[in-house]
Structures are given as C-alpha cells and as structure tokens.
Structure 1
Amino acid sequence: MGQSKITEMKRVAVCVIMSLVAACGANGELSGSGTPSRSAAAPHEPPSARPSLGEQLGRDGTTKTPVPAQTSRSAGRWKVVYRQKGDDREQVFQSVMFTDVAAVGEDRAWAVGERAYSTAGHEPLLAEWDGRRWRKVMDALPKEVRMCHLTRVDASDPGNVWVIAHDPEGGEDGLLHFDGQRWSHTPGMRQEEVLALPGGRAWTFGRKARYFDGSRWTDHPIPINVQAAQALSPESIWAVGEVSTPCGRGTCGVPAAAYFDGRSWRRTPLSVAESAVSFDTTLKAVLAVDGDKVWAAGGFTTPDGAFRPVLYQWNGGSWQAVNVSGGQITGLARDSRGALWAATTRWTPEGPDGYRLLTRGDGPWRSVRPPGPITAVTQTAGGTLLWGVGGDTIVRYMT
C-alpha cells in the first residue's frame, strides 16, 4: 500500500474519532443527534416568570422560592434511584416498605417506612436525601421508636420535620420531630396524619385534631376522621378522610372533607356514588393548588378484593366528582407543567403489576406503569422534581 494511501486513511480515522468525541455529552454518553445529552442541557425554567400559588407552595403550604431543576437523562420519566435491601444475616425473612415521603427543596427530602421480620418485630425505616444521594439515618432516632413503624412524614423546612411512629406490637405510639440537629420523641399520640407549618408549628390528625404552636399542644374538634391534609397557609388548610354512616346492620365509611379557616374546622359536602357507599370508602390524598382548585382522592374495596378510585375537585364553592378508572388512589402531586399525578393500587398488590400512575395535563387521563411500586408522591417547590415511594424503592421524576 502506498504511503499517500496510508496517510489518507490515518486522516479519515482521526476525523471519525473527533466526530465521536464532539457527539458525546458531559457524562461521556453518545447523543444520537450529535448535540449534548440532556444531562448537560441548560436548567429547566418554570413555565412562567410568576408561578401560581400552588407552584410556590410546598406540601406544607409554606411559600418557597422555586429552584432550577436538576438536569438528567431521566428528565420526563420515572426512575428508581434508591432501593432498600432487607437484612437476612440471621436467616430471618424481612420485608421492607416505604410509606411516605416529604421534600422541602431540591436538596432535602425524607422517606419513612418499616422493616418487618417474619419472627414478629418491626424496625423503623428512615432515609434522607441530601441533594446527591439517599442514605439511611436510623441510628439518629431515639431509642423509644426502635421497634416502631414510621407511617407519615412532613416538613416545612430542614429544621422542622415531623414523623408519625406506630408500634404494631402494642407499645406506645408517638411523634418524632427533627429540629435540624437532632430527633426528639413525644409519646402517646395515636394519629394518622401530620402537617408541618412554619415556625416549628404542626397539626396532627386522626379521630381528633391537635395543634402545636411551637411550645404546647391543644386539641381541636374536627368533623371527620382525617387521613391526609395540606395547607395553602396556616389559616387555610384542607383535610380529607371519612365519616361513619349507618349501612345495613352496621356502619360504612363515607368519604369526607373539612376546611380550616384559621379559627375552626368545618365539613364541606361531598357527593358520593351509591356503589362507593356500599363499601368502606375513604379519601387518602389531597392536593391544594390554590383557593379555587383542590383535589381529593381515595377509593374503596369491592367484594372480590379489587380497589376502585374516587376523585373530587374543589372549584372554589363546591366539590365535583371526577370520573376516573383504575385503582384506589393513595397519593397526589403536580409537576411544573401543571400535570396532575395520582399513585394508584389496582388490587391487593402481590407484585409491581398492581401499581399504576394516572396523569392528566391538558388532555385525557393516561395510565403510566412505574418502574417500581408507588403508593405516595410529593413535589418540590415549582414541581420540577417529584418523589415517589412504595415497597422497597424510592423513585424520581424530573420535568
């Protein structure tokens, strides 16, 4: 082969290599279009310069400044980012279950749940997101909850995090609080939901409501049994759940909602389908966008063991039933595009196929199969980052 031919082949090879390098993103992954991969793209901007009230408020209802989204190849889809393994060092079967998640920004979030052993006994499960990774923080918990199941979590800021702890073995239930430095334990509070407010304040709910003003707890009458709550402000709070009503020879659960105006709680009427009245029905999730748009969701169980959804929307003056098919709704969140996300369970789950996500933006409802089981969801300020938990996994969605 002539020298000129060899030289030409070398020149072509160098050109090819340089083209490939130019087509790679910051993480070294090849982009089919020859442009930087999505992980190297400019930060996502909110849809408007002035976000709506619902986009400025976190789950707790406090005002937060929207933070530019982290960028990732997984933007626009759900992705498993953490999986909690069981501990079989002693050959004891152990199940892991995340039950709730709360976030106060792009760089701080908490997920709670339990690890249950086949020989009886429970351990709390607490993980924290620091902006880079999820890590277990159970060693920081008080000894009083070392055998408890952590069921609910909420936070108004990194120095005001609240967690409900149940003891399934007949011990004492309690409430955990993180002040930014250490966790403390308040015993004797059997509640189902907790809501964090600015200034170290909080509400807890169950068959009664209790308010913490930063120094002491006071009881407040509430007309429903609360399963979920969300605040637009400390003087504008929605709570949903159920009430008992006569049903045949006993009682049935009927979905119910209540509103706090800064002075007292009052029930707001809901229309209920006859099919739902026939079985125990409850609302398990609420999402308050603003004073004229609030979503409440839950479901009921059919005689054959399947789960069915119920969904309502508040229009500023009344609740309207929304027709939706699928499974029982256990979590609600809203992303930066304004799309609603609902975590659903179709039947008593024995695997990931029992879970679906329902979503709707400007068009019809869509069903999305998540990469892992999701039973609870939450969004960060602006909705640019959504977290979901269920089973042994934590999943993330970025817009």
Structure 2
Amino acid sequence: MMRRLGALAASVAGFGIAAVLVFSPATAQAAGADTTFTAIPPVNIGTVNLMAVSARSASDAWAVGVNYLNANTVIATLAEHWNGSTWQVTPTPSPTGNADVLNGVADVSPSAAWAVGYSQTSTGTTTALIEQWNGTKWTRVPGGTSATSSAETLNAVVAVSATNVWAVGEHFDSSAGGFVGLIEHFNGTAWSIVPNPDTYTSQGIQHSIPSFNAVVANSASDVWAASNSGVQTAVIEHWDGSAWSVVPTPPLAVLNGQDVNTVAVDSLAATSAHDVWAVGGTTGFGRHAPHNQLVEHWDGTAWSLVPAPAGTTTPQGLSSVAALSPTDAWALGFQPGTAVPAFQHWDGTAWSDVAVTGVSGVLNELAAAPSSTLFALGNTQAFLSANG
C-alpha cells in the first residue's frame, strides 16, 4: 500500500500531466518500419496519473488512475473514457477523501466496466476499492469479506464476462501472520474472496506469496495471476474453473550470466489457452545489483523462458505486455538508464527491439483491442495505433 502511494507521489512530482497513445501496426511482421502512433492526450483536469487502460475497440476504452487535489494533499480516483475522438472524465467515488486510488480497469461493454484499487483513511486504515460502471455512472461496490483479512489492496482486474470478473492484489491475513496475495471474484451478484495457495517453493525453499499484481483470463476455466515478489522464480497461479494452484516456472538462479535474487512479473497477456505471456524483470544481490528483463511464455503445457533481444536499447525490465495474435505481441519498458519508452515486438519466432518515432514521455501500460489496435498509456503521453 504505502509503496504505491510513494510511487504515485514520486511520479506526479516528476511528470504531472497524463496522456495516452493508440497505435496499429500495418503489418505486425514489419512492425519496426510500419508502426506509427497517434497521440490522444487525456483530459488534463489537474495533476493526474493514469495507471491502467482497457480497450474493447479503437473507439471504446477506459483509463483509470488518480487525481492529486488540494496541493497534492488529497489523492482522488480518476476515470476517463475514450470514444474514438475525445477523452471524457467521468465522476468516480472517492470514499475517504484522503487517498483513493484506482490501479486497474476492465472494459466489458458500453454498459459494464470494473475498476479496482484501494482507499486509505487519514489514520492508515486501508480497504479494497471496487467500482462498477453501469453505462451511466460509476458506483462503489462492496468487496469480499473475511474475518482474517485487513489492509486490502487490489492491483488488477479482468472480466471473462459481465458476470464473471476477477481482481487480484494483497491483504494482511491474520491467519497467515502477514501479507499474502488476495484474489476476489464477482459472480454476477456479489464479490467474494477466493482461497488460493499462499506459498510456493523455489530452489527447495518454501516462500510466501505476498501479492499479485497481474491477471489475465482466456475463459471461465482458464485464468492466470502473477506476483511481483518471487525469489529466483516467477510466481504464477492458475484457475482451472474450480481451484487456484501454483504452476511451476523455470528456476532462475542465473539469468544472462548474472545471479538472480528477486523476480517480478509485472504484466500478463494471452490470446488463447496455448498462448500466454508473462513479462517483468529480475534483480541480483546487493544495492547495485544488475537488472534483467524477464519474458516467459505458456504454450498450453509448460512455462518457458524466452530470450530477450540483444541490443543496446533493450530494456532491463518490462512493465507491460499486450498480445494481438500468436505472431503479434508487444512489450513495453524503458531504454537502459533513461525514462525513454522502449518497445519490443514478437513476430511468432523472436522478440526484437522496435524503434517507434514520435513517442515521448513515461509510458506505463499497453492494452490490445480486438481491432488490432494498441493503446499505450502513461503520465505524460498516450497513443493509439494509426490503423485502429
């Protein structure tokens, strides 16, 4: 919780205005030459930070985040809708009037969308925040409850349908004696906390799973959640329609010739049950430990490590991934040692660095729409693919 508040404050101090990009590759295989972006700056209603974007099409997308008010002493929720030509700010509840944050959004239909995050009172009490769009307005919806759960934060949300929605994050579970990953489900009537494994084994040692920050769904019986807090392995769980389970991923004691300590999966994307991507980064040991980007792929049977491009602009970590087809996926990071966006493209055989002109500012997240359109969202820029 507090680390998210700290990160938000730092990003606002450094960048301020929010924006979005949308982009469509004319041909995915020739993405480096044919990809163009069109800037579609969101409404600047103050000092804002957009955290997530979800798109149904090139003319229907939601972006959510926060708006810093009253000289940055109040953090309020923020939602903006893209109709194909303009962004429109839509009022959202901010229950505490202190710190109310939206971290994730799922655009289901013109009359259905979900946004999740957390609310924190001035005394430090933190609760999960879930908001629903009904086609007319956003309203707060109660989350799941548990006698052993407190200090809840939701980081991401995905919708299988309007009556089947998953949200993931973290909470303090007194029965576990600490923070563990939190998974909630909406069944069309109410939200409930769904039990999931709170430990995994790496290099023969059992570790707790303190959080989840990414979720993706292929169907009601095929949902994935990932953690940004692994030790020498990516931590990924799967829902098979009846229960959550930890799915083994490649051990990562060494990556690219460097020792690995922590492993973070920051984003998931999927086109089918046989095509799921997980991206993020790893760190080594020590204060100045090297960073490496992480890309793993699920082929329907097992997770495997996929090599990163060997280039001087190859990011040392990836913040987001979006997949349009098995031969057309995109990943987002920063050029090493800079805040300059760095894009990578998967053509069905290998990942390659892609030079995208006309893109500037800090970008946080990619989202794919069925029309072969990509949205790229950030603090200072936002873009839409040219052929969307």
* TM-score (norm. length: structure 2): 0.71
Match of 1:323 among 299, 307, 311: 307
Q: 1:329 to 1:197 in 2, by over 3 A?
A: same
The match for 1:121 is 74
The match for 1:297 is 279
Q: SS of the counterpart of 1:375? A: strand
Bigger radius of gyration, 1 or 2? 1
CA distance in 1, matches of 2:316, 2:37: 19
Structure 1 vs Structure 2 CA RMSD: 3.1
The match for 1:197 is 160
The match for 1:338 is 327
1:260-292: CA deviations, max 9, x gaps? 111111211111322467433211111112222
Report deviation, 1:315. Answer: 1.7
Q: SS of the counterpart of 1:180? A: coil
Match of 2:354 among 367, 370, 374: 367
CA distance in 2, matches of 1:264, 1:186: 24
Q: SS of the counterpart of 1:284? A: strand
CA distance in 1, matches of 2:37, 2:89: 22
CA distance in 2, matches of 1:199, 1:83: 26
The match for 2:184 is 210
Identity of aligned residues (%): 19
Report deviation, 1:46. Answer: 10
Structure-to-structure mapping, 1:277-296, within 5 angstroms: 278-296=260-278
The match for 1:77 is 36
The match for 1:58 is none
1:348-369: CA deviations, max 9, x gaps? 86xx42x211113256512335
Q: SS of the counterpart of 2:162? A: helix
The 8 Å contact of residues 340 and 359 in structure 1, kept in 2 or not, is answered as yes
Q: How many residues align?
A: 311
Q: 1:133 to 1:306 in 2, by over 3 A?
A: farther
Give, as a single letter, the amino acid of the residue that structure 2 aligns with 1:310.
Answer: L
The match for 2:61 is 109
1:183-224: CA deviations, max 9, x gaps? 111356522221223133311212122211111233222235
1:89-141: CA deviations, max 9, x gaps? xxxxx4x321100012232110111233665321222210112211222xx22
The 8 Å contact of residues 266 and 320 in structure 2, kept in 1 or not, is answered as yes
The match for 1:387 is 375
Q: More helix per residue: 1 or 2?
A: 1
Structure 2 unaligned regions, length at least 5:
1-23, 29-33, 144-151, 170-180, 198-208, 309-313
Q: 1:373 to 1:363 in 2, by over 3 A?
A: farther
Q: More strand per residue: 1 or 2?
A: 2
Match of 1:141 among 55, 75, 92: 92
CA distance in 1, matches of 2:76, 2:337: 23
* Structure possessing the higher relative contact order (Cα contacts under 8 Å, 6 or more residues apart): 2
CA distance in 2, matches of 1:283, 1:386: 21
The 8 Å contact of residues 326 and 348 in structure 2, kept in 1 or not, is answered as no
Structure 1 unaligned regions, length at least 5:
1-42, 48-74, 88-93, 245-251
